[in-house]
Amino acid sequence: MSTRSVRAKSDEHGIKGHSLAERLSASIRAGRFAPGQRLVEADLTAELGVGRGLLREAFRKLSAEGLIELVPNRGALVRRFSLCEALELFEIRNELECLAARRAANHIADLCTRESFERAAKPIWSDHVRQGSDDYLAENQRFHAAIMAASGNAQLVSVSERLQLSLILSQIRFALTPDVLAHSVAEHRRIAQAILDGDPVAAGLAMREHLDRATEIVKNRVLCTNGVQNSLQRVMGRSLYGYGRSFFDFQTTRNVASNVRFDHGRIARD
């Protein structure tokens, strides 16, 4: 085989690996894989029709991006944040998002910027009731990405993407009730309107209010879930998670709690 053929084959392999990583990344961000879930090579190679070598290359890329963790003797796990990590990242993200909202309002007079933002933000004006967290998380990601794009600062966009807010949101997906979603959509509309009005002060304040509330949801949901977790631990006599101070896993809590009944303040396992 010639050097050119080897290089072409290598380039093709790299392109396929990148595409596979992008596909897995989208699935993780959309919440298809739960935080802490192990990505089983045999299942994924069969489902995606790829070899183990290509899949492991994609795993390495996702690990470098902070989406998954490669753990010896366990394999690839979807990253699960501790509460401390989540709140620290929210603090950073809040400042970046407020800056992006202000910059977007300052740049919205540009016709191309305005058209792109209006097109990307269009779903937030729909009056349909957001019933499930999956659709909302996708809408939420597109809306915040649209603000970042409208900010006109490529480095701001790059830094923001590395903070993995979508992963944190996927860990509180079961806290996203219809009332919470309706409140968030109303906040999105206020942010969007301030940007479209070219008011950077109002846009920044609306964004801060929105993200401060999201931070409180994380804090309050942790306290609530930890209370359930502690009660279940007393019943079962063991840790539910085994991750020390790791952030909670709502799917695990729901699955275990489904086998537990609450009766007059006491807990008994069915």
- CA–CA distance from 60 to each of 1, 30, 54, 68 (Å)? 28, 20, 10, 9
What's the rounded mean pLDDT across residues 52-75? 90
What's the rounded mean pLDDT across residues 61-86? 87
User: Which two structure tokens, joined as six digits, stand for 28?
Assistant: 């993780």
> Among 68-77, 87-96, 123-132, 146-155, which is the least confidently predicted range?
123-132
Mention every residue, 6+ apart, whose C-beta is less than 8 A from residue 111: none
User: What secondary structure letter does DSSP report for 32?
Assistant: S
Does the pLDDT of residue 252 top 80, yes or no? no
Band of residue 246 on the pLDDT scale cut at 50, 70, 90? very low
Question: Residue ranges of the domains in the chain?
Answer: 10-78, 83-221
Residue keyed to tokens 């010639």? 2
Rg, the chain, Cα only: 21
Q: 246 φ, ψ to 5°?
A: -65, 155
Reported as a single tens digit per residue, the pLDDT across 141-166 is 899 999 999 999 999 998 888 777 77
Regarding the domain delimited by 10-78, which CATH topology (the fold level of the hierarchy) does it fall under? Arc Repressor Mutant, subunit A (1.10.10)
What's the rounded mean pLDDT across residues 10-30? 70
Q: What distance in Å separates the CA atoms of residue 51 and residue 230, rounded to the nearest whole number? A: 42
Long-range CB contacts (within 8 A, 24+) of 138-147: 138/30, 140/169, 140/184, 140/188, 141/29, 141/166, 143/188, 143/192, 144/97, 145/120, 146/116, 146/117, 146/120, 146/121, 147/97, 147/100, 147/101, 147/104, 147/117, 147/191, 147/195, 147/207
The burial of 255, by beta-carbon neighbours within 10 Å (0-12 exposed, 13-18 middle, 19 or more buried), is given as exposed
Q: What distance in Å separates the CA atoms of residue 118 and residue 4, rounded to the nearest whole number? A: 46
User: Which two structure tokens, joined as six digits, stand for 120?
Assistant: 């990307």
Reported as a single tens digit per residue, the pLDDT across 111-127 is 999 999 999 999 999 98
Band of residue 89 on the pLDDT scale cut at 50, 70, 90? confident
Q: What distance in Å separates the CA atoms of residue 196 and residue 178, rounded to the nearest whole number? A: 27
Band of residue 222 on the pLDDT scale cut at 50, 70, 90? low
Does the pLDDT of residue 105 top 50, yes or no? yes
Regarding the domain delimited by 83-221, which CATH topology (the fold level of the hierarchy) does it fall under? Four Helix Bundle (Hemerythrin (Met), subunit A) (1.20.120)
